[in-house]
Amino acid sequence: MFVNLAEHNNSWISQVHRMGKFTELCYNIVEEKFYILPTFVYVFDSIPPSSLPEYIHLHTLAELVHFKDRFKIESIPYQIKRGISKWQFTVRSCSTSKRCKYLHFKAQVLYDSTHRPENVIFWVQDVTYYYAQRQKLKRYAQIAQHSSQSIIILDAQQKIVWVNKRFEKLSGYRLSEIKGKYPGDFLRGELTDKQTSTWIKVSLDEQKRVRTELQHYRKDGQTYWVSVEILPLYNKKGKLKKFLCLMTDITEQKKMEGEKNELIVQLIDNNKNLEQFSYIVSHNLRAPVARITGLTHLFNKEQLHDPVNLKIINFLQDSAQQLDQVIKDLGLILSLRHPEKNSFTNVEISKVVDEVIKELNPVIRKTNALITTDFEEQKVIFGIENHLKNILIQLISNSVKFIRQDKQPHIHISTAKMPNNYICLRVSDNGLGIDLKHYGNQLFTIYKRFHLQFEGRGIGLYIVRTLVESMNGYIEVESEEWYGTTFSIYLRKK
């Protein structure tokens, strides 16, 4: 019976014979025998080809497999009685080299004309190589799962197929939430560099390797930095199969780089301040001291009632007051540069503006200045309340001082949310404006005045910049002569 089947499939048997990995068995249900092919020895090599029988019994076949797997062979009659027509299973078998082989059985019941089970055909394949590869992949998966790097596997369409535990822990997303999605749809946000994101997309479309740094967003909205490397993976035919994405958390490294850059900026700023203080000492302090020294030489000590002495005393008094004012200015600047950290609070900016307007009310009324505000976008600023008040006093005072006589003074104060975690406080006016082409680099320099027809010491804007920088912010200015000025103060969110 099985010989006819073998002859009918002679070409197939020859192919299997060459491969040495496949055979067929025919189990006769009535006789309880397995009829075998010559290729049987290439799957069960414990039987020599010279002594290969025409058939073997059920218990003989069971003895050829590992003792822990014999029940799978012994349960074949039971499976037939249950009416199962197809099933499959894998068993272990020891080869002549005492190496464990993995054999996969596929069973198909054949029925007679009365639909009673008559024979069972078993296709048996040696899957040792595939099993070893699967075990190797499992080991690789375990390594990837517990890797210190975040790993994402994308399909050829750049959608997520798999992520490891490290990625889930870092991002806060579970695989079940993001499988089939594009990583950029949920990992990127306002602070993610758009140019870099576009470059990554273009590179992947062109199947190029990617290596860069990017700012990502966790599920809870917090940001973190990653070093990203994406590799295209191809099959044996050279067709794109997947992308392997490796990510390393470099948030602390970026934080240290930021602190380093801030320190460099601070050192540069301190150097500029030293130069500025040197200028103050050499000019603004030396001038009144030199006058005092010269006047003391002119003082007539022999004739104290000399009328000239009275004038000299008046000049001495003026020079001493000027010297005292410079020393007070220096003390003020030094005190403003090092605020206490615990003085930072959430400041309701509208209340501060109301206090400033109330304090400056006499001069505002005198100039008939119109003050408008818009704090809808950002009502609270994280900073030092007294600093914010002094900044607004200086800027609004300048706005009502340097006015155009042909226009009603208009001052607009507003807030806005900005990218990169900043808030902007703006003060705009329609006053005289400043020629930034000539004076832009001197604008925040101490004792610099640009409208000499007005009284002043030229220290207001220097104080403003000092206060802003003491709150870890920065200030920008837009201005044009006769068209007003806008000061934009950028402060970090909490």
Which carries the bigger pLDDT value, residue 175 or residue 455? 175
Say which CATH number the domain at 208 has.
3.30.450.20
- At 39, the pLDDT band (50, 70, 90 cuts) reads confident
Say which CATH number the domain at 279 has.
1.10.287.130
Same domain as 451, residue 420:
yes
Same domain as 268, residue 165:
no
Average pLDDT over residues 448-458: 63
Backbone Cα Rg of the chain: 44
Lowest mean pLDDT among 7-21, 129-143, 219-233: 7-21
Residues 300-315 have pLDDT tens digits of 777 777 788 888 888 8
Same domain as 289, residue 204:
no
Q: Is residue 472 a part of any domain in this protein? A: yes
Q: Is residue 345 a part of any domain in this protein? A: yes
Average pLDDT over residues 446-450: 67
Which carries the bigger pLDDT value, residue 145 or residue 23? 23
Which one of 73, 101, 132 terminates a domain? 132
| pLDDT reading at 162 higher than 80 | yes
What's residue 5's pLDDT? 44
What's residue 295's pLDDT? 77
Q: Is residue 212 a part of any domain in this protein? A: yes
- The token duo for 34 is 């397995």
Q: Is residue 139 a part of any domain in this protein? A: no
Same domain as 483, residue 346:
yes
Q: Is residue 444 a part of any domain in this protein? A: yes
CA pair distance 369, 427, nearest whole angstrom? 14
Q: Is residue 385 a part of any domain in this protein? A: yes
- At 332, the pLDDT band (50, 70, 90 cuts) reads low
Q: Is residue 140 a part of any domain in this protein? A: no
Same domain as 444, residue 375:
yes
Average pLDDT over residues 374-401: 92
Cα 21 to chain center, whole Å? 51
Same domain as 391, residue 364:
yes
Q: Of the ranges 95-104, 192-201, 259-268, 299-308, which is most confident? A: 192-201
Q: Is residue 138 a part of any domain in this protein? A: no
Same domain as 208, residue 182:
yes
CA pair distance 335, 473, nearest whole angstrom? 17
Same domain as 276, residue 229:
no
| pLDDT reading at 276 higher than 60 | yes
Same domain as 347, residue 329:
no
Same domain as 434, residue 374:
yes
Longest Cα separation, the chain: 150
Which residues are within 8 A (CB) of 32 and not within 5 positions of it... i.e. 6 or more apart? 57, 58, 77
Which one of 192, 223, 249 terminates a domain? 249
CA pair distance 483, 476, nearest whole angstrom? 17
Average pLDDT over residues 282-304: 74
Three-class SS state of 104: strand
CA pair distance 325, 331, nearest whole angstrom? 10
Q: Which domain holds residue 76?
A: 2-132
| pLDDT reading at 194 higher than 70 | yes
Lowest mean pLDDT among 9-18, 353-362, 387-396: 9-18
Which carries the bigger pLDDT value, residue 452 or residue 327? 327
Say which CATH number the domain at 371 has.
3.30.565.10
- At 277, the pLDDT band (50, 70, 90 cuts) reads low
Q: Work out how many domains the chain is built from and give that number.
A: 4
- The token duo for 259 is 């602190």
Which one of 274, 308, 337 terminates a domain? 337
- At 4, the pLDDT band (50, 70, 90 cuts) reads very low
Same domain as 332, residue 390:
no
Whether residue 393 contacts residue 356, with contact meaning beta carbons closer than 8 Å, is answered with yes
- At 463, the pLDDT band (50, 70, 90 cuts) reads confident
Average pLDDT over residues 249-263: 87
What's residue 284's pLDDT? 63
Same domain as 229, residue 311:
no
Q: Of the ranges 9-13, 129-133, 229-233, 417-421, which is most confident? A: 229-233
